[in-house]
Structure 1
Amino acid sequence: MSVVLWAGALSQGPSAVAGPADSSAPAAPNASGALPSTTASTADGSAQGSSLFAPPPPARPNVASAPQSGTGPALTVPEQELAKTMKCNGDLSKGPDPLLLIHGTLSTVDATFSWSWLPSLEMEKRPWCTVELPKSGVEDIQISAEYVTYAIREMHKRAGRRIDIVGHSQGGMIGRWSTKWWPDTRGMIDDLVGIAPTNKGTAGFYPACATLGCGAGTAQQGRDANFIHALNEDAMTFPEIDYTTINSTFDELVVPYTNGFLPSGPNVSNLVVQDYCTAEPIDHFLIIVSNAAYVLAKQALDNDGPNEAPGMAPSECLRLMPGVNLLTFPFDGLSAVGHSVQVALFGPKVPGEPALRPYAEASPPSP
């Protein structure tokens, strides 16, 4: 049932997982065994996009500095479209800080949260919102981040106070792109909790990209991707926000799992579930229903600052989080993994990661 099985199948190549022929699938390796790069050059010679499968190009894009103030670039997605993907429950102005849930790559709100965090939040009476990333999270993340930016602003406006964010995988990282380039959002967020986040990219997607191809959002999370380079160049965190990352040593998709970490600081806490529950056998997928991960996230959300003093009673380990239906859990898990596999096999593919948006690139120096 685990994504581990899917990732293992992908690593065996097309003979292990058959799919229809796709004219947009990546080209075959050349004589040296390397796959072709899709990197183009700007007038100043900086790279615009990169190969999904080759080492990073020698010339990186010149990344702009994060703006210190203002509202950032205009959103290009129509507001009506942005609003359709946001769903909220409860009075955002009352009770615990309202929580924005963001799903990850190859997934949806329903596949990730309907059987995990949403029932738990209902039990807790915590107001919440969700945002549906386009194309099951395989759209260009620079586009998906506009949906997240809109949701942050809209939640903050409705709540009249700062909000919290919990995201899984890409969902635990994408809020950092929003806060980097749309600086008004920094003061709208109290806690940003990433569960198995892809903060520094991953080598875990390369086998799938090399055999089946990737969507744009998958390609951008390669550890050598220009997107990841731009995300982490200059400021990686901001003092207005408390950051907690929750990671697993058994994560088979964020490789190495420490790529989920953020730089140490007074407002940053990087946690590993196995430091508190040694025998917790949770991978990238099952961490979303792990009670241990839930407890660590709740401690971050309910206390001031990041989760700097985590604690875990032995009874909290090796359990599913509150709200998970034990009778439907196997079906819910299979359904969620099935959706991810379907998108991985039959979803949109790109020959290389998209170019950085102009706002993320520095102007070339004057001659």
Structure 2
Amino acid sequence: MHYLKTAVIFPFFLSALATPVPVGDTLATRDSSTFISRLENTLKGLGSLTKGVLQEVDLLIGGLQDVVEGKTDPVTTIEEAVGSLSDVRNASEAGLVGVAIDLVTKGLAPKNIVDLVSGLNEESINSFNNTNPIDPQTSIFPKSSSDAPYTQSEEDLRAAVYIPEKFKYGADGKQPILLVPGTGDPAGVSYYFNFEKLIPETDFADAIWVNIPNNSLADIQFSSEFIAYAINYVAGITNTTIGVVAASQGNIGVQWALKYWPSARDSVSDFLAISADFHGSLLAEECLIPNTGCTPAVMQQEYDSNFIKTLRSDDGDSALVPTTSVYSGPDEVVTPQTDPDASGALKNAHGVGATNVQIQLACPGLPAGGFYPHAGLLVNPITWALFVDAMKHDGPADLSRIDLDPICNRILTEGLVLTDLLGTETAVVLDSVVHALEYNYQGPAEEPAIRDYARSSSQ
């Protein structure tokens, strides 16, 4: 029987920058029953699940109703939020739905959480069907004969790229930054409360992102095609190299794209990997939910999956472009994530530069180096400082260039507030729950076969 690997699924569901891309005034007044009704309708269609899982989804619905009706007191300070987060069960204990229940019942969901998630889901920032009429200066489909073949049409690959209205196309000295999401969410939701809010306030960076169809729940080899194309497309329409930022599973999608579409490497100046699982995760238990959730992308992220073995072969475990990887030792879903064996760490066999930073070692005993779960690194001040340093210098980030004193004594990146922490931790997880349940994977209980172009690497 097919089950959800709960210990693996949570990290990869988590997956832009200054004031968030506006989602409209309708958020404040949207019918709060929309998201709950969506969960209820999904629940009705999941009769194949175990009784325990169905009960958990029902508990989550009840918890959301209590939040909406004001029966659950939300946290009111960042310190309170951090304390409550430390009490949330990890994915290996509770599964994705259980984690969502804890977030909601422990006050980590603001009263308007349902409106917020509903509103974000309906916004164009999450679209997979965007109109991008500008052609790159040279053909990129394919860009090089050494690239792996695309199985998707160029029209579909280009439609996944979301270009904000204020995007400068490389003007004003602003470098384009491509944001790549993790499993279960489009990039518009993943980065809304962090990088999408922070980047527009800089004078050196400009955000753009790729929303991967199926919310990155399908075969990562499929998702990587969209990443590879997006890298070359954004570089092609801006006539400059770009920075790439990825969260969780998005990192192995980027690394796969750079390995098998080598032309994309010339388009990337820097790659910031956040909570990456370049070696999968040891927390890969048997699937606990039959017939749903244990999607191809989840199976491929097991520590010794064929996908991970193939990715890491032939020096794929080394940076392919200047790469800065940041991770947290207490990561509840990617393990091991402590040096020197961190799954997020890359080697430097290709000599392009690799910087690996475990936040607890960068700021020992200080707020920024404290208890940060998987998604929390998106709002961590060390993560942002590494991004700024990498984008402003040749090669990867270098901690020795960064004044760590003020950074280590912050809990959140300057410019972010409590709402951004709660949105990153709770809204994104709730969105992932719905996408995972709605995907309702019914395929074979085995990971997808390695595609022909990569098979020589796995032998």
With normalisation by structure 1, the TM-score equals 0.77
Q: Distance in 2 between matches of 1:9 and 1:194?
A: 26
- Structure 1 residues 12 and 134 mapped into 2: Cα distance closer, same or farther (>3 Å)? closer
- Shifted more, 321-330 versus 289-298: the winner is 321-330
| Aligned 8 A contact 2:244 2:271 in 1 | yes
Q: Distance in 1 between matches of 2:415 and 2:286?
A: 33
- Structure 1 residues 143 and 250 mapped into 2: Cα distance closer, same or farther (>3 Å)? same
Give deviations 1:77-102, integer Å, cap 9, x for gaps. Answer: 12222222111242222223211110
Within the candidate set 299, 309, 321, 2:413 is matched to 321
Q: Distance in 2 between matches of 1:326 and 1:363?
A: 45
Q: Distance in 2 between matches of 1:171 and 1:12?
A: 18
Partner residue in 1 for 2:169:
92
Answer yes or no: is 1:303 the counterpart of 2:393: yes
Q: Structure 1: state its 5+ residue gaps.
A: 18-68
Secondary structure of 2:272's partner? strand
- Structure 1 residues 223 and 273 mapped into 2: Cα distance closer, same or farther (>3 Å)? same
Q: Distance in 2 between matches of 1:236 and 1:243?
A: 13
- Structure 1 residues 208 and 108 mapped into 2: Cα distance closer, same or farther (>3 Å)? farther
- Shifted more, 278-287 versus 342-351: the winner is 342-351
Q: Distance in 2 between matches of 1:145 and 1:2?
A: 32
User: Which residues of 2 match residues 142-153 of structure 1 at below 5 A?
Assistant: 142-153=221-232
Query: How far off is 1:340 after superposition?
Result: 2.0
User: Which residues of 2 match residues 42-191 of structure 1 at below 5 A?
Assistant: 70-89=145-164, 90-94=167-171, 95-125=173-203, 126-191=205-270
Give deviations 1:121-179, integer Å, cap 9, x for gaps. Answer: 11114222100122121110000001001101111101111111010111122111111
Q: Distance in 2 between matches of 1:284 and 1:12?
A: 13
Q: Structure 2: state its 5+ residue gaps.
A: 1-83, 102-143
Secondary structure of 1:166's partner? strand
Query: How far off is 1:238 after superposition?
Result: 7.2
Partner residue in 2 for 1:337:
429
Q: Distance in 2 between matches of 1:13 and 1:158?
A: 41
- Structure 1 residues 229 and 347 mapped into 2: Cα distance closer, same or farther (>3 Å)? same
Q: Distance in 2 between matches of 1:328 and 1:13?
A: 21
Q: Distance in 1 between matches of 2:374 and 2:319?
A: 28
Q: Distance in 2 between matches of 1:284 and 1:332?
A: 10
Secondary structure of 1:251's partner? coil
- Structure 1 residues 132 and 208 mapped into 2: Cα distance closer, same or farther (>3 Å)? farther
Secondary structure of 1:193's partner? strand
- The amino acid across from 2:373 in the alignment is D
Query: How far off is 1:302 after superposition?
Result: 1.6
- Structure 1 residues 316 and 348 mapped into 2: Cα distance closer, same or farther (>3 Å)? same
- Shifted more, 114-123 versus 207-216: the winner is 207-216
Partner residue in 2 for 1:361:
455
Give deviations 1:44-74, integer Å, cap 9, x for gaps. Answer: xxxxxxxxxxxxxxxxxxxxxxxxx734132
The structure that is helix-richer by fraction is 2
- Identity over aligned residues, as a percent? 26
Q: Distance in 1 between matches of 2:406 and 2:89?
A: 29
Q: Distance in 1 between matches of 2:332 and 2:90?
A: 10
Give deviations 1:250-279, integer Å, cap 9, x for gaps. Answer: 111111110111114541111111112224
- Shifted more, 235-244 versus 80-89: the winner is 235-244
Query: How far off is 1:328 after superposition?
Result: 5.8
Q: Distance in 1 between matches of 2:335 and 2:435?
A: 21
Q: Distance in 1 between matches of 2:225 and 2:305?
A: 20
- Structure 1 residues 5 and 80 mapped into 2: Cα distance closer, same or farther (>3 Å)? farther
Partner residue in 1 for 2:44:
none
With normalisation by structure 2, the TM-score equals 0.62
- Structure 1 residues 313 and 153 mapped into 2: Cα distance closer, same or farther (>3 Å)? same
Q: Distance in 1 between matches of 2:318 and 2:361?
A: 26
Alignment RMSD: 2.9
- Structure 1 residues 147 and 278 mapped into 2: Cα distance closer, same or farther (>3 Å)? same
Could you list the runs of 4 or more consecutive aligned residues of structure 1 that deviate by over 4 angstroms after TM superposition?
1-4, 11-14, 210-213, 237-240
| Aligned 8 A contact 1:7 1:208 in 2 | no
| Aligned 8 A contact 1:226 1:356 in 2 | yes
| Aligned 8 A contact 1:169 1:197 in 2 | yes
